[in-house]
């Protein structure tokens, strides 16, 4: 049995890894290294309930320090790991602390992609990745202010919804022809564009930001077409970058994320990588691999790594799933639509309850986007996991229940 396991990172993946190791019977030394000065916490609420004030810090924190102590997990909250020595099996922090390991789990997460234009350093320009970021942005969400959101992805749309409900004037700037262009089909993009516009949000697509204007703080955002958009504050949400440098510098395979096998093991058999920082095989999608930026992926990979370390059977993997909350809308996504050749809409988008099913040429279900439609999401996730085929005509027919559709797959 390994005597010492070190986990680098203190998010949901790291928390689940430690929990699964203890639940699986590991009784050796377990060390968790975080660098934010806070116990491990959830990130999804930061752009939603936490930002709006509906959820306090106590509900965002995953486990208080007392609970970690009860589980005999040694937690270091200000331990930024700067080097990994595979030969000596140790990691070193910026402060010079050395932590040897028998097995190492990298749960280093990701960081925001910064805006590459003049003025991006001005006061009033915000990013959203940490509690500190959310607290700073939340303090400025005052009714009557003008917020410009750069990036029409989920983070941008979620913050726009919170800000609009708080009484701010909100403008979303998106470089693509539609919001959510990278991650959703046109019908979903259209739905959310209409939802936000009906709430009073201005959405500009096909635009390029060239500068943030202001003296000491933000006053406007300049566009390539010559327009300027007045702003009291700016949120930049243009994607994230996996924190793979530590692994890459140590000689591990890491291009778009740290490459792992089915058990979350890296090219070094003593080192595992989980969560946003990892590129994993996607078992429901043939030979594909990729990074999945989601809570589900973090939890699932953590369980896979723990099982492999303990020599226990590999847990059954679910279809990937994701979610977003905006206004009174809950979007639930199961699967990945890449490779789909047809999409079937079930329900009526105008009624704010519908789903879009994505199938391949053989009618195999690859993904489903469900708007306020839990049965479609639940059944769709189950069908994807068993590589089921569905009849498009049945999916579109609301007189056929999801229970019947699921049973036919």
pLDDT along the chain (409 residues), means of 10: 93 97 97 96 96 96 96 96 98 97 98 96 97 97 98 98 98 97 94 98 98 97 98 97 97 95 97 97 87 95 98 94 96 94 96 97 97 97 95 95 93
Taking Cα atoms as reference points, which of 192, 210, 126, 201 lies closest to residue 153?
A: 192
Residue 344 has phi, psi (to 5 degrees) of: -120, 125
DSSP class of residue 358?
A: E
Residues of the chain with CATH 3.50.50.60: 4-111+240-310, 125-236
328-408 carries CATH number 3.30.565.10? no
Encoded tokens for 336? 């990945």
Cα distances from 315 to residues 50, 66, 312, 333, 369, in angstroms, run 32, 29, 9, 22, 25
Burial of 380 (0-12, 13-18, 19+ CB in 10 A): buried
Residues of the chain with CATH 3.30.390.30: 328-408
Given a contact cutoff of 8 angstroms between Cβ atoms, the answer to whether 348 and 376 are in contact is no
pLDDT at 273: 98
Residue 214 has phi, psi (to 5 degrees) of: 150, 160
Q: Which CATH superfamily is domain 4-111+240-310 in?
A: FAD/NAD(P)-binding domain (3.50.50.60)
pLDDT at 2: 85
Measured distance CA(379)–CA(402) in Å, rounded: 7
- Rg of the Cα atoms in the chain: 22
Measured distance CA(58)–CA(18) in Å, rounded: 20
Residue 383 has phi, psi (to 5 degrees) of: -65, -40
Measured distance CA(393)–CA(409) in Å, rounded: 13
What is the CATH architecture of 125-236? Answer: 3-Layer(bba) Sandwich (3.50)
Cα distances from 303 to residues 8, 63, 275, 314, 321, in angstroms, run 16, 18, 11, 8, 16
pLDDT at 288: 81
Cα distances from 100 to residues 80, 89, 310, 355, in angstroms, run 15, 6, 19, 50
DSSP class of residue 41?
A: B
Given a contact cutoff of 8 angstroms between Cβ atoms, the answer to whether 44 and 55 are in contact is no
pLDDT at 1: 67
């Amino acid at each position: 049995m390994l005597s010492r396991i070190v986990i680098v990172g203190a998010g949901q993946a790291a928390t689940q890894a430690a929990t699964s190791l203890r639940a699986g019977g590991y009784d050796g030394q377990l060390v968790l290294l975080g660098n934010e000065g806070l116990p491990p916490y959830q990130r999804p609420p930061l752009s939603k309930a936490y930002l709006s004030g509906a959820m306090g810090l106590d509900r965002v924190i995953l486990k208080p320090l007392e609970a970690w102590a009860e589980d005999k997990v040694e937690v270091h909250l200000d331990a930024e790991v700067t080097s990994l020595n595979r030969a000596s099996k140790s990691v070193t922090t910026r402060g010079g602390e050395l932590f040897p390991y028998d097995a190492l789990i990298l749960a280093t997460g990701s960081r925001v992609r910064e805006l590459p234009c003049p003025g991006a350093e001005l006061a009033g320009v915000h990013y959203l990745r940490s509690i500190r970021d959310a607290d700073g942005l939340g303090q400025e969400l005052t009714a009557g202010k003008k917020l410009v959101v750069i990036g029409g992805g989920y983070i941008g749309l979620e913050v726009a919804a919170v800000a609009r409900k708080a009484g701010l004037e909100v403008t979303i700037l998106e470089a693509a022809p539609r919001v959510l262009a990278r991650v959703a089909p046109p019908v979903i993009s259209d739905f959310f564009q209409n939802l936000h516009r009906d709430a009073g949000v201005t959405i500009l697509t096909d635009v390029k930001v060239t500068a943030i204007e202001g003296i000491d703080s933000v006053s406007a955002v300049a566009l390539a077409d010559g327009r300027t958009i007045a702003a009291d504050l700016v949120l930049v949400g243009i994607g994230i970058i996996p924190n793979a440098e530590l692994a890459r510098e140590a000689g591990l395979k890491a291009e778009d994320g740290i490459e792992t096998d089915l058990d979350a093991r890296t090219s070094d058999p003593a080192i595992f990588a989980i969560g946003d920082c990892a590129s994993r095989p996607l078992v429901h999608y043939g030979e594909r691999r990729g990074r999945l930026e989601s809570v589900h992926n973090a939890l699932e990979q953590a369980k896979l790594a723990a099982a492999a370390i303990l020599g226990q059977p590999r847990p059954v993997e679910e279809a990937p799933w994701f979610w977003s909350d905006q206004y009174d809308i809950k979007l639930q996504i199961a699967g990945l639509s890449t490779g789909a050749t047809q999409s079937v809409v079930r329900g009526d988008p105008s009624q704010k309850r519908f789903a879009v099913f994505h199938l391949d040429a053989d009618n195999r279900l690859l993904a489903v986007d469900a708007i306020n439609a839990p049965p479609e999401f639940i059944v769709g996730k189950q069908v994807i996991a068993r590589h089921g085929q569905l009849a498009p005509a049945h999916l579109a027919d609301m007189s056929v229940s999801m229970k019947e559709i699921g049973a036919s797959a």
